[in-house]
Chain A
Amino acid sequence: MLAVLMLFALPTVLPQRAIATVTQMQIAALFALAFNILWRQTRLLSFGHAVFFGIGMFATVHAMRAATGGAALLPMPLLPLFGLMAGLALGVIVGFFATARTGTYFAMITLAFAEIIHQLAPQWEGMFGGESGLSAMRTPWAGLSFGSDTEVYYLVLTWSLAAILAIHYFTQTPLGRLAFALGDNEQRVRFLGYNARLSKTLVFIVSAMFTGLAGGLLAVANENVDHSIFRASLSGQVVIHTFIGGAGLFFGPVIGAAALTLLSSMAADVTRLWILYQGLLFVVVVMYLPQGIVGLIADHLALGRWRQLQALLPPILAGLAGVTLISAGTIFLAELLAALAADPFARQAAGGIVSVRLWGATWDSAAPATWLPPLYSIAGGMVLLHLAARWRRHAQLSPEQQATDG
């Protein structure tokens, strides 16, 4: 509740540029949440979800263009509903075929559909606008001109909150509970008499529907779209957002997507290696933190009282310090390597040894003082993490906590 109030109050304290970023964060969060309906509940991994996002975006842009031309079917704030319906329609088609198989085959079917649509979209110029894409304009409604970022922010916020509530409600419905069961043990669900294929398709449609809605919101925010929205890397991005955040929790993808979108917009100006860092973080989370970062925090919060957390303070602090050291060392090394690799001619001219300017200081590529600090930092960080893990295991927990402890 407090979080909702804070979100509504946000535009009063933030500069204009930041408001637009928070709007993007919300849309990414909704996209990830809709994607996770499939994974958290039915354990279906879709690698082609960008097509629903994209089709929702295109449908809404078409609706906005129609509205500007005078043929408005719905008031301007309700136009993302076209995105929702487009996602639903495409979800019926893809879902029907994809749910014929499970596991890796399911993922490959979604991948195939996504590639087909991605390749066909540039050819269908009437629908997808060819190379330059389609653009539209937000039309005024009920006295609001929707010209400012703030008004768009509130529109997107209202829709996002409504969608989050709707998705949460969905998890409580019989179909939603059935979806969890399907993810758990599909064969048992079938033996209980349910039509597993139909149920999976319905859940798929729900997921595609809300993804289309997210796309519609982005259409309203950006006012244009082109066929690159169907690209595989967007499908991949939502997977990364979801799992770094924590795919096992309802809010994991939301926080993961929001945080990564924010970091992305902040980091893109500072370093061109941001995608590398994101990939490294993703791989580390998949290997060592299957519950995601939010999952890790949630596990600690679930331990309840402050007194109990005190026992865990050493490992938590050591863990945080270790992570910080490893990150700092890795980033330093990567940026150093990138700076060195960027100018091979200077390197050749200088006989292989070159000085690099990074963060206001000059680093000599041949000096050990350049390479040793980051290496030590990474090594030290790993030692700290190892200690943190060992202290965690030996921490004095009360019996009731040991029961709740993962």
Chain B
Amino acid sequence: MGNSRVDFVIVSLLNGISYGLLLFMVSAGLTLIFGMMGVLNFAHGSFYMLGAYFGYTLARYASFWVALAIAPLAVALIGGFIERYMLRRAHRHGHAHELLLTFGLFFIFEELVKLFYGFYPVEYRMPAALEFTAFSVSGIDYPFFRLFIAGVAVAMFMAIFLLLRFTRAGLIIRAAVHRPEMVEALGHNVPLVFLAVFALGAGMAGLAGTVTGAFYPTSPTMAQELGMIIFVVVVVGGLGSIEGALVASLLIGIFSSFAVGLDWTLADLGKPFGLHPWLAGLGGLLTVRLSTMASVVPFVLMLIILLIRPAGLMGEKA
């Protein structure tokens, strides 16, 4: 009995961390973009989806490793094009129009994917070389590829961290995230920085898609499913803060992973007071299990953060 609970904790923890790192890969770019440009990129989930589909196509005609190298670059190029030729034009009409533009792009990408690849998930599989078990936990085999995804995320985080903290370009980017006008006044090419950050963010999301699409289903609804939750991550973590995005992603990832396996209800809160039977009898929201409510809790958290501390856990106070 106790053994299975420990196993549940271990598996949930591992799943939670790997899912959280996946969320981080996608939301790192989004938080930089939002922090720097003030644009909430509705199409960021679409970059993730494009990475998966490009990876699928490249893996079919070449190999998974080629896909891993090329697909994120392709997505980064698309991101750069969007920033340079579309966002900048919409910027003239105000923040809201940028928001609307990215919103429209989200629709377009989803429909384009449906056009070229169909409505149903495609058979994007991991390469046979990586398809083995890492270890076993109470009879359940833990696939190595999950660790691979986590590894890619950690490597990406290290790369971005080193870039931002120890290079001159990183310094300029960080400054432009917080004080774009001042950086421009100091003579730097801020529009180029914006372009680079947007492309970089898109590329990171694309990389996440290329890697994860081989494990999870690759379908046209990927963007919508992930798109909402990365907003939560970005808001909770704090706009512009990579560290915040990491903390928030892990938080939400681990929580979602645990919650899915737990059958607690609000009525359970009454157990120590002997009120459980009465509360359970009231029905309605009090008896909804945590496992079914799991998807709602991150949004409630996002709401609370937006209302109480919009800067997020680790963002700077506006």
Q: Which residues of A contact B (CB under 8 A)?
A: 43, 45, 47, 97, 100-101, 103-105, 107-109, 111-113, 115-116, 119-120, 123-124, 126, 232, 236, 239-240, 243, 273, 275-276, 278-280, 282-283, 286-288, 290, 334, 337-338, 341-342
Write the B281-318 contact mask toward A (1 if CB under 8 angstroms, else 0): 00011001000110110011011001100100000000
Contact of B231 among A97, A108, A280 (CB under 8 A): A108
B112 within 8 A of A: yes
- Contacts A105-B310, A124-B284, A124-B285; A279 near B108 (Cβ below 8 A): yes
Known: A236-B103, A283-B105, A290-B93. A126 touches B284 (CB 8 A): yes
Given contacts A282-B107, A286-B90, A116 and B284 within 8 Å (CB-CB):
no
Residues from chain B with a CB closer than 8 A to the CB of A278 are: 107
In the complex, the chain A residue whose C-beta lies closest to that of B38 is A104
Is the beta-carbon distance between B115 and A236 smaller than 8 angstroms? no
Contact B104 A279 (CB under 8 A): yes
| CB <8 Å contact, A334 and B115 | yes
Interface size on B, as a range, is 35 or more
Residues of B within 8 A of A240 (CB): 104, 107
With known contacts A120-B296, A287-B89, A105–B108 Cβ distance under 8 A: no
**Contact A97:B111 (CB < 8 A) given known A104-B99, A119-B296, A240-B104:** no
Question: Do B303 and A109 have beta carbons less than 8 Å apart?
Answer: yes
* Shortest CB distance B91–A (Å): 10
Interchain residue pairs with CB less than 8 A apart (8): A115-B228, A123-B293, A239-B103, A276-B115, A280-B108, A282-B104, A282-B107, A283-B86
Interface pair A101/B310, CB less than 8 Å apart: yes
**Which residues of the other chain, A, contact B97 by a CB distance below 8 angstroms?**
286, 290
CA distance A97 to B293 in the complex (A): 22
Q: How many A-B residue pairs have CB under 8 A?
A: 114
Q: From the candidates A109, A119, A273, A286, name the one contacting B104 in the complex (CB within 8 A).
A: A286
Establish whether residues B307 and A97, one from each chain, have CB atoms under 8 Å apart when the complex forms: yes
Contact pick for B299, options A115, A273, A338, CB 8 Å: A115
Contact A103 B95 (CB under 8 A): yes
Q: How far is the CB of B82 from chain A (nearest CB, A)?
A: 10
- Do B299 and A119 touch (CB < 8 A)? yes
Contact check: which of A97, A116, A236 meets B296 at CB < 8 Å?
Answer: A116
Given A107-B40, A126-B284, do A286 and B101 touch, yes or no (CB 8 Å)?
A: yes
- Whether B115 pairs with A112 at a CB distance below 8 angstroms is no
CB-contact partner of A108 in B40, B96, B300, under 8 A = B40
With beta carbons under 8 angstroms apart, the residue of A116, A286, A341 that contacts B116 is A341
Across the interface, name the chain A residue whose C-beta is closest to B310.
A105
Report how far A384 CA is from B93 CA in the complex, Å. 24
B117 interfacial contact with A, CB 8 Å: yes
B112 near A276: Cβ-Cβ < 8 Å = yes
Task: Give CA–CA (A105, B307) in the complex, Å.
Answer: 9
Q: Are B103 and A232 in contact (CB under 8 A)?
A: no
Shortest Cβ distance from B116 into A: residue: A341
- Nearest-Cβ distance from residue B287 to partner chain A, whole angstroms: 10
Q: How far is the CB of B264 from chain A (nearest CB, A)?
A: 15
Given A104-B99, A126-B284, A283-B105, check contact A338 B115 (CB 8 Å): yes
Contact of A287 among B86, B292, B300 (CB under 8 A): B86
| Other-chain contact of A275, B38, B111, B296 (Cβ < 8 Å) | B111
With contacts A276-B112, A279-B107 taken as known, whether A287 is within 8 angstroms of B224 at the C-beta atoms is no
The docked-state distance in angstroms from the alpha carbon of A130 to that of B285 is: 14
CB pair A273–B111 under 8 Å, yes or no, is yes
Q: Do the beta carbons of B284 and A109 come within 8 Å of each other? A: no
Complex alpha-carbon distance, A338 and B295, angstroms: 35
Min CB gap A201→B, angstroms = 14
Confirm or deny: B100 has a beta carbon within 8 angstroms of a beta carbon on chain A.
Answer: yes
The CA of A124 and the CA of B293, in the complex, are separated in Å by 11
The CA-CA distance from A138 to B231 in the complex, in Å, is: 42
Q: How far is the CA of A232 from the CA of B108 in the complex (A)?
A: 15
- Please measure, in the bound complex, the distance between the C-alpha atom of A334 and the C-alpha atom of B108, giving whole angstroms: 12
Q: Is the CB of B307 within 8 A of A109?
A: yes
User: Which A residues are CB-close (under 8 A) to B95?
Assistant: 103-104
Shortest distance between the CB of B31 and any CB in chain A (Å): 13
| Cβ-based interface call for B245 (8 A) | no
Knowing A100-B307, A119-B299, A341-B117 touch, does A283 contact B108 (C-beta < 8 A)? yes
The one of B111, B295, B306 in contact with A279, judged by C-beta atoms closer than 8 angstroms, is: B111
Chain A residues lying within 8 Å of B112, measured Cβ to Cβ, are 276
Residue of B nearest to A43 (CB): B96
Q: Are B295 and A119 in contact (CB under 8 A)?
A: yes
- Asked whether A341 lies within 8 Å of B303 as measured between CB atoms, the reply is no
CB distance from B171 to the nearest CB of A (A): 27
Q: Which residue of B lies closest to A282 (CB)?
A: B104
Least CB distance, B201 to chain A, in whole angstroms: 17
Taking CB atoms, residues of chain B closer than 8 Å to A109 are 303, 306-307
